[in-house]
Amino acid sequence: MNMPEPVDAIRAFHHAFRNDLERIDTAAYDAAKGKEGLTGSIERYRFFNEMLVWHAKGEEVAVFPVVETVAPLVAEAYVLDHHGLDAAYAELNASYAARDSLKTARATAAFRFHLAMHLGKEDAHLYRIFREKIPLPEQGKALGIMSSMIPQDRFTEMVAWLYPLIGNDDRENMTLIWQKMMPVPVFAGVKQLIRKAIPGDWPELVRRIPGLEAK
């Protein structure tokens, strides 16, 4: 069993962001066409953005500075992307508050496009530099700082949000990383949160990580 690297955790979150915003965008589009009962799906955008802000703040505090040591000036463009995502959220929030379904659908589409471009660049460029040029211990330290951006009292919500939005490979990687990073008693509690988040897929995760059930 190959041990995942810090970048694998970041990639898992990127997949979750893409998948969640796609669902929100689809709901907004369907609502604009007159379909009812989609309020809850669209309003996910608020928690989605909380997660996105925590992630972006973690990158700016932990990842971008170390990347600057090996690739000066690279991170600046990604900070500008973050400001653009903030603006996209503000437009979506204002459109939804105005109860304008067409503007909301346009805003979610714009938000999704900007996010997809940003994450695609990070995966292909920024995190390639991070993975290839930054020593693994420093990568792990950066990941720990990023994780600390999530308030402890919101961790349960984060797990419940993340695991249903990612595939089995990402779930395996995240679980192994947390298992390695966390004290045994803490991971025991997190394991139960994971099991609750994906009850139907829990047996597959146990199959992939021998001994998980007993740890």
For 120-145, the pLDDT digits (tens) are 999 999 999 999 999 999 999 999 99
Write out the residue range of the structural domain in which residue 164 sits. 152-215
pLDDT of residue 1: 53
* 139 in the same domain as 35: yes
Residue 12 to residue 204: CA distance in whole angstroms: 17
* 204 in the same domain as 110: no
Kindly list the distances between the CA atom of residue 188 and the CA atoms of 179, 185, 192, in Å, as whole numbers in the listed order.
Answer: 9, 5, 7
pLDDT of residue 214: 61
Low-confidence ranges of the chain (pLDDT < 70): 1-2, 214-215
* 194 in the same domain as 141: no
* 164 in the same domain as 140: no
Full-model pTM = 0.95
CATH of the domain at 115: 1.20.120.520
CB 64 within 8 A of CB 80: no
* 212 in the same domain as 139: no
* 163 in the same domain as 138: no
Number of structural domains found in the chain: 2
* 171 in the same domain as 117: no
